[in-house]
């Protein structure tokens, strides 16, 4: 054995190299570190494990990895048959998770060196009893033979099907897994309906479905007496008006259901489910508008009526978090008290968007940040008391921010990430230039501001807003100050501690609207055209045309920001 290859080299200094330090770690700790390599998100399907290089670093690492069973307990989508068999052997006695893409049956596509076919999967699972979860992706023709072969009892806890084709109902036989299996999670993604034995449905606690027939979906839910989490992702939904009218008179009692998540593609999907499923008080409802889907209907009157009743029943939206920019981002609106997170809210509305080519926008991708303003208008967001903004300074048009803030007069707490400081400051500058002394005050009841230095757990800068506009004072608070903001106003000098705010942001927080001399430039006008905010046709009434300006500072009247605000000479900004 070449010890030079299997042992780390020491540096010329007295301190060992990083590799040597890793080499001396306990075997258990190294094995635990290796396990994290299997959790790499969004890795493309590969015929071999993505973390394979760690087995080739040195003999020591290879020995540890080959003998660490948890490293081999998850079959990922794309692994070749040879690697699947290796995983099954090296996982020893551990329960295994299988995520398998079943390749088509066409003979000319068969390649024994890559890909998995239904007969391969039937063979490897025939006498294998250590299945914890099974996810099969493919067509009905390739998946059904595999399912029909699973007649032995297994300790399987999660079963998932992802079907690519259209077809008839997907029927699971009564003797699947010998008629008994501790399945707790069931997922069915595809066109059509799933028909499962009642014994299987009774034990399911988490169910995800794309069922297209409302009556058949409700029939499945009636038999899920243990269901606590239901996620619905309909491509489309069909129902008879007579059935819905009859069901409304006797909704399904689901007191155990604690989480209802709906990703709709139509205005009535959420409203119907919310009416037909009678949930226990305190259950959490979440409406998600995804990156794909046409959402021009989001301000549809029927949709808004259904949402308004849900929102009002839990005292309205109290929190809004906006992240990202014009091309990609997300926002969340949720209910609950000051300490309520969006995951724990009784109702949360989420939206996510990505950049989509113009020729595809009529099919999907219509959701955008502009929907936030529209939803604030129609859902009565005036009671929102906490606003969090995490966007790049050039992520939105400047006019967008002013329109958003005008719809949120009840905000008492404002939390900004460092990248958003300049964005709001520039919005104030442009607004005063356009409207001069007629610029309306925004955030009239603001009492607390927090500026996050980074997304990590570094201390944030906190400020108290004292008094009323247009002469509010801004006072820096100690990082530990929580609750009563008036308890230690003199603890930190405001004169010294406002350096992380832009001039525009300071004036916005004060409620000032004093005009400043601006003049648009050719470059700024072209830049504005590039960043113009496009809105769906249904939101044209909220349209705006942003314009960029360049600040001209009068040589006889330099802007000394803090002296303008506090009547004292401002410190020089470093």
CA dist., res. 466 & res. 68, Å (int): 60
Q: Looking at the domain assignment, is residue 176 inside a domain?
A: no
Number of domains the chain contains: 2
Tokens 């939101």 map to which residue? 539
Among 174, 165, 203, 182, smallest CA distance to 131 is for 182
Q: Looking at the domain assignment, is residue 213 inside a domain?
A: yes
End-to-end CA distance of the chain: 60
Contacts of 542 (CB under 8 A, 6+ apart): 370, 373, 374, 377, 403, 535
Tokens (6 digits) for 95: 């329960």
Q: Looking at the domain assignment, is residue 113 inside a domain?
A: no
Among 345, 242, 385, 360, smallest CA distance to 291 is for 360
Tokens (6 digits) for 274: 């919310």
Last residue of a domain, one of 265, 280, 295: 280
Domain limits for position 513: 433-566
Q: Looking at the domain assignment, is residue 28 inside a domain?
A: no
CA dist., res. 89 & res. 86, Å (int): 5
Supply the angle between the helices 301-313 and 269-276 in degrees, to the nearest 10: 50
Among 205, 206, 241, 198, smallest CA distance to 223 is for 198
Q: Where are the beta strands (DSSP E) in 117-174?
A: 131-138, 158-163, 170-171
Q: Where are the beta strands (DSSP E) in 45-102?
A: 74-75, 96-101
Q: How far is CA 222 from CA 123, 201, 236, 521, in A?
A: 36, 9, 21, 65
Q: What is the DSSP letter of 213?
A: B
14-28 in b/e form (b: 16+ CB < 10 A) is eeeeeeeebbeeeee
Q: Looking at the domain assignment, is residue 258 inside a domain?
A: yes
* Cα-Cα-Cα-Cα dihedral sign, residues 552, 553, 559, 564: negative
* Cα-Cα-Cα-Cα dihedral sign, residues 226, 229, 235, 238: positive
Question: Percent of the chain at pLDDT above 90?
Answer: 36
Q: Is the pTM of this model over 0.85?
A: no
Q: What is the dihedral of CA 218, 222, 227, 229, to 10 degrees?
A: 10
- 132 backbone dihedrals φ, ψ, rounded to 5°: -95, -40
Question: In sequence order, what are the beta bridge partners of 229?
Answer: 206, 259
Q: What is the DSSP letter of 177?
A: G
Last residue of a domain, one of 241, 265, 280: 280
Number of residues that this document lists for the chain: 574
Alpha carbon 188 to its chain's center: 21
pLDDT tens, position by position, 84-108: 999 999 999 999 999 999 988 664 5
Q: Looking at the domain assignment, is residue 137 inside a domain?
A: no
pLDDT tens, position by position, 423-461: 888 777 776 555 544 556 788 999 999 998 766 656 678
CA dist., res. 535 & res. 545, Å (int): 11
Question: In sequence order, what are the beta bridge partners of 154?
Answer: none
Among 104, 211, 95, smallest CA distance to 157 is for 95
Pairing status of strand 194-195 against strand 170-171:
parallel
Among 49, 105, 104, smallest CA distance to 80 is for 49
Last residue of a domain, one of 280, 306, 330: 280
Contacts of 129 (CB under 8 A, 6+ apart): 152, 154, 155
CA dist., res. 18 & res. 10, Å (int): 9
Tokens (6 digits) for 323: 């992240």
Q: Looking at the domain assignment, is residue 504 inside a domain?
A: yes
Q: List the chain residues with pLDDT less than 50.
A: 1-16, 107, 436-437, 481, 483-497, 514-574
Q: What is the DSSP letter of 316?
A: -
Instruction: Write down the pLDDT at residue 459.
Output: 67
Question: In sequence order, what are the beta bridge partners of 114?
Answer: none
How many C-beta neighbours within 10 Å does residue 498 have?
Answer: 22
The helix, strand and coil proportions of the chain, stated in percent and rounded to the nearest 5, come to 35, 20, 45
Q: Looking at the domain assignment, is residue 56 inside a domain?
A: no
CA dist., res. 482 & res. 419, Å (int): 24
CA dist., res. 421 & res. 393, Å (int): 7
Q: Where are the beta strands (DSSP E) in 418-542?
A: 448-452, 461-466, 473-477, 518-519
- Please answer whether residues 424 and 389 qualify as being in contact, where contact means their C-beta atoms are separated by less than 8 angstroms: yes
CA atoms within 13 A on the CB side of 224: 25
CA dist., res. 158 & res. 494, Å (int): 57
Q: How far is CA 446 from CA 80, 285, 311, 403, 545, in A?
A: 59, 29, 23, 17, 27
Helices (H), 328-459: 370-378, 398-406, 418-435
Q: How far is CA 469 from CA 43, 444, 509, 510, in A?
A: 52, 7, 9, 6
Residue 550 burial class via C-beta count within 10 angstroms: exposed 0-12, middle 13-18, buried 19 and up: exposed
* Cα-Cα-Cα-Cα dihedral sign, residues 236, 242, 248, 254: negative
């Amino acid at each position: 054995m070449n010890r030079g290859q299997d042992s780390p080299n020491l540096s010329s200094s007295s301190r060992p190299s990083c590799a040597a330090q890793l080499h001396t770690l306990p075997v258990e700790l190294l094995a635990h570190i290796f396990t994290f390599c299997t959790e790499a998100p969004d890795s493309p399907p590969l015929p071999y494990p993505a973390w394979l290089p760690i087995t080739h670093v040195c003999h020591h690492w290879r020995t540890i990895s080959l003998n660490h069973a948890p490293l081999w307990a998850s079959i990922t989508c794309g692994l070749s048959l040879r690697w699947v068999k290796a995983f099954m052997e090296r996982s020893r006695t551990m329960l295994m998770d299988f995520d398998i893409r079943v390749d088509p049956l066409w003979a000319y596509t068969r390649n024994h060196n890559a890909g998995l076919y239904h007969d391969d999967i039937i063979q490897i699972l025939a006498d294998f009893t250590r299945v914890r979860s099974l996810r099969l992706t493919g067509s009905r023709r390739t998946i059904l033979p595999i399912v029909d072969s699973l007649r032995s009892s297994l300790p399987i806890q999660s079963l998932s099907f992802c079907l690519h084709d259209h077809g008839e109902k997907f029927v699971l036989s009564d003797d699947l897994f010998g008629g008994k299996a501790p399945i707790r999670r069931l997922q069915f993604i595809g066109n059509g309906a799933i028909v499962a034995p009642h014994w299987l449905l009774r034990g399911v606690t988490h169910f995800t479905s794309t069922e297209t027939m409302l009556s058949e979906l409700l029939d499945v839910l009636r038999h899920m007496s243990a269901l606590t989490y239901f996620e619905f992702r309909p491509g489309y939904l069909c129902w008879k008006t007579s059935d819905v009218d009859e069901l409304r008179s006797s909704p399904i009692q689901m007191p155990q259901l604690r989480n209802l998540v709906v990703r709709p593609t139509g205005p009535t999907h959420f409203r119907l489910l919310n009416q037909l499923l009678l949930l226990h008080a305190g259950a959490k409802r979440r409406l998600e508008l995804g990156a794909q889907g046409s959402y021009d209907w989001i301000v549809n009157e029927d949709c808004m009526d259904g949402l308004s009743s849900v929102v009002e029943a839990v005292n309205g939206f109290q929190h809004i978090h906006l992240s990202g920019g014009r091309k990609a981002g997300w926002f969340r609106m949720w209910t609950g008290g000051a300490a309520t997170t969006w995951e724990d809210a009784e109702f949360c509305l989420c939206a996510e968007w990505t950049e989509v080519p113009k020729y595809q926008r009529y099919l999907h991708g219509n959701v955008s940040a502009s929907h936030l303003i529209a939803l604030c208008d129609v859902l009565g967001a005036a009671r929102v008391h906490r606003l969090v903004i995490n966007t790049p300074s050039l992520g939105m048009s400047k006019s967008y921010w002013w329109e958003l803030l005008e719809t949120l007069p009840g905000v008492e707490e404002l939390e900004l990430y460092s990248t958003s400081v300049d964005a709001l400051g520039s919005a104030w500058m442009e607004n005063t230039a356009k409207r001069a002394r007629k610029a309306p005050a925004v955030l009239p009841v603001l009492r607390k501001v927090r500026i996050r230095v980074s997304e990590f757990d570094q201390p944030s800068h906190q400020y108290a807003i004292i008094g009323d506009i247009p002469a509010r004072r801004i006072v820096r608070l100690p990082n530990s100050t929580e609750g009563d903001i008036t308890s230690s106003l003199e603890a930190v000098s405001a004169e010294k501690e406002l350096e992380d705010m832009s001039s525009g942001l300071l004036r916005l927080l004060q409620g000032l609207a004093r005009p400043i001399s601006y003049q648009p430039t050719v470059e700024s006008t072209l830049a504005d055209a590039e960043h113009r905010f496009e809105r769906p046709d249904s939101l044209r009434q909220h349209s705006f045309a942003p314009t960029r300006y360049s600040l001209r500072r009068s040589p006889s009247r330099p802007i000394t920001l803090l002296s303008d605000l506090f009547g004292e000479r401002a410190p020089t900004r470093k």
